[in-house]
Amino acid sequence: MIIQESRDKLLAHVDETTVRRVKTSKDYVVSTADGGILLSSRWMDNSAFMIYSTPSETYFWARNKKILEILKGVDVPKERELFGALLAIATYDLSVIDDLDDRVVAFEENLFDGKGVTEENFATLHDFRKDGWSKRRYFERMELVTDDLMKIDDSYGFIDSKYDKLLNHSLRTQEYLDQIRQSYEAHIGIEQNNLMKFFTVITSIFLPLSLIAGWYGMNLMMPEFNWIYSYPFVIALSVGIIALMLWLFRRNKWL
């Protein structure tokens, strides 16, 4: 396999008719005049890569250097270099989606650890969903590309099946992330309900005391003002109301 420094240098090996035909396209697989296959697509980070394979030689170009590292371990006959390259990329893609799954599972296990709603959890969940969405788009592209490749040469059916499974895997991961988001939103709703319940209890306890304060705050001369035990009586009444309200809330399991 010959690594090319630029896309133009790779396309220099392809017949002009094919180059003109795919000039405005980004993702495609076409047969060339010399019996070769020209494949162009974009990787997970949306960076372009291109492969031109003939029975005698295979040329490869990629904007992301990581793909070039992946292809260093490919050791197959020249007529199978395109198959070997795509298989190596698909194998690495599987490890990437598996790693995402592992990180999502670990995140979910630590999500409901008693810290409550945090900005960090929101940001992490958003990053996971963004990452999952980008991988889904990538696998959709590769699934379409490998479908076209199999139509040209049915010996690439295994690669096409591989990307069909990877696409389904990424869809399941995205559904899992949606379920985590829904569970987290439900958890937020429960926390908010508990907070509102607490404030409702506090308001209900002090509402009768506010009535007493308002009653005795009127500028009127009330008979009990001349009673020596009026002040202790109001204190005892207030404490009694608080005790009664707490007992009622606990009895009805509102507190």
Task: Give the model confidence (pLDDT) of 210-232 as tens digits.
Answer: 888 887 777 677 777 777 888 88
Neighbour count for residue 54 (Cβ, 10 Å): 19
Rg (CA), the chain: 34
State which residues form the domain around 41: 2-191
**Judgement on whether residues 82 and 158 belong to the same structural domain of the protein:** yes
Total domains, the chain: 2
Q: What pLDDT does residue 32 have?
A: 86
**Judgement on whether residues 209 and 183 belong to the same structural domain of the protein:** no
**Judgement on whether residues 116 and 216 belong to the same structural domain of the protein:** no
**Judgement on whether residues 124 and 184 belong to the same structural domain of the protein:** yes
**Judgement on whether residues 209 and 233 belong to the same structural domain of the protein:** yes
pLDDT tens series, the chain, 255 aa: 788 888 889 888 988 888 888 888 888 888 888 888 899 998 888 888 898 988 888 889 988 888 888 888 777 777 788 888 899 999 999 999 999 888 888 887 777 665 555 667 778 878 888 888 888 899 998 999 999 898 888 888 898 899 999 999 988 888 888 887 777 777 677 667 777 777 777 787 778 888 888 877 776 777 777 778 888 888 888 888 888 888 877 777 766
Q: Report the predicted TM-score, pTM, of the whole model to 2 decimal places.
A: 0.70
Contacts of 65 (CB under 8 A, 6+ apart): none
> What digits encode the pLDDT tens for the residues 172-208?
888 888 887 777 777 677 667 777 777 777 787 778 8
**Judgement on whether residues 98 and 164 belong to the same structural domain of the protein:** yes
How many helices and strands (H and E) does the chain possess? Answer: 7, 5
Q: Among residues 164, 191, 218, which one ends one of the domains? A: 191
Q: Among residues 140, 172, 191, which one ends one of the domains? A: 191
Helix axes 81-111 and 119-152, enclosed angle (nearest 10):
160
**Judgement on whether residues 58 and 20 belong to the same structural domain of the protein:** yes
Q: Which residue has the tokens 């199999």?
A: 150
